[in-house]
Amino acid sequence: MTVTLRRAAPMLGALAASALILHFAPPRAVGPPWVLGLLAVLAMVWVLWQPRSMVRDDILPALAVVLSALGLAMVARLSPTLAQRQQQWLLLSLVLAIAAGPAFGHFRRYAAYKYLWVVASLALFALMLVFGEEVNGARLWIRLGPIQYEPIELIKLFIVFFLAAYLAEMSDVIANARPWSLRANVKYLGPLFVGWGASIAILVVQRDLGMATLLLATFATLLFVATRRLDIVLFGALLFALGAVWAVHHFPYVATRIAVWRNPFTDPLGAGYQSSQAYYSLAAGGLVGSGYRLGHPEFIPDVATDYVYAAFAEEFGVIGALVVLAIFLDLVRRIFATGLEQPDLYTKLLATGLGATLGFQVVIIVGGVIGLLPLTGITLPFMSYGGSSLVANFLLIALVWAMSARPRKRT
């Protein structure tokens, strides 16, 4: 009983905090109480349906639930219809996290299928190109009946699986290669750069610049951690920078994003309208915010998907925005800590890649919202409206949580 209570305590605390948060949400938006009750039951099943002989970092899933509750409260305040859909995606995410638990327990076997992850990624890319629905100029969504899913959210996980396995196998060879030996670098880094370059090229054509940036950052992080070769990482960054300059001159939408980032107020009623409204929301929030449901973030177009962080900052202020960042920071820190505890290079790289994916995604979207980076349209994990992102990120947390398992010490 003591073991069960100790394991359940973080999630019980998270559910209590979530209940308090959602208590102030519009009742019509969060739906009937039984839906929230079912979500709570699934969350408890997720953390309790594990071997009692193992110890895990039970705060990981609890943090994901708290962030999801904060996001649901903001989406409910912005759009009751989207909030009800978000609840459905939350239900699916928890069910999939529970169902994937046994498979994630065998995470070390994933290295044997490294090229299968590449094939799966390319297959999903092909499906997007052939059958994808065009939304806002990008063909990134596939519709299956009433469900619209964005395969790129799964692809980002598959690419981490491949990179971790390949770099773990080739790390010594790459690390000891002569700095500018073209033959050695092409031989061992060729598959990495070809796969990365193909992904970036397709994503640029598909207008998903946020995911392209995210993949580059994750790729560079894993490459450096595996080899400690800063020269190779800098060479890859140089290639990306050259590609970015080329894209600015050949893709009008890229040039527009850069221009809006530099000064959205040059066209405040046109291309810069979304960013300028977000800046007004951030300024209106001040230190403590206007109060939940007392601000006007609804003036920001696509606020539930692209600018939920700005909406949160307007109503909860700088203090609330920093609290959210602190939760994300602790979540990413725990993922990296799980990687450091792993006994082999592959699992260290796997956890590092997953942590980098989540961390850079937060940096890219928050940086875009506050103007430090060009806005790319990528979602804020767990908080933005979006079922594809929610499912992928809950699976990510479920996998890292499985990796954190270790035998319980007997007293």
Helix (H, G, I), strand (E, B) or coil at 133: strand
pLDDT score, position 3: 61
* Residue 91 burial (C-beta neighbours within 10 Å; 0-12, 13-18, 19+): middle
Q: What is the pLDDT of residue 57?
A: 85
pTM summary value: 0.91
pLDDT at 252: 76
Q: What is the DSSP string of 95-107?
A: HHHHHHHHHHTTG
Q: What is the per-residue pLDDT for 375?
A: 80
pLDDT at 390: 95
Can you read off the two tokens belonging to residue 108? Answer: 């070390």
DSSP element (H, E) containing 143: strand 138-144
Number of helices (H) and strands (E), helices first, in the chain?
A: 16, 5
Looking at residue 297, its amino acid is: P
Q: What is the pLDDT of residue 50?
A: 75
Nearest to 50 by CA among 8, 112, 88, 89: 8
Instruction: Name the 3-class secondary structure at 344.
Output: coil
Question: For 247-261, how does the pLDDT look when each residue is reduced to its tens digit (9 = 90+)?
Answer: 777 777 777 888 888
Residues of the chain with pLDDT under 70: 1, 3, 52-53, 134-139, 175-207, 408-411
Which residues, 6 or more positions from 25, have their beta carbon under 8 angstroms from its beta carbon?
A: 72, 73, 76, 77, 83
The two structure tokens encoding residue 62: 């609890």
CB 72 within 8 A of CB 25: yes
Instruction: Retrieve residue 101's tokens.
Output: 């638990």
Q: What is the 3-state secondary structure (H, E, C) of 155-215?
A: HHHHHHHHHHHHHHHHHHHHHHCCCCCHHHHHHHHHHHHHHHHHHHHHHHHCCCHHHHHHH
pLDDT at 190: 65
Question: What tokens were used for 294?
Answer: 């007392």
Distance of alpha carbon 157 from alpha carbon 195, whole angstroms: 14
CB of 181 within 8 A of CB of 231?
Answer: no
> Which residues have C-beta within 8 Å of that of residue 32, sequence separation ≥ 6?
none
Q: Residue 204's pLDDT is what?
A: 65
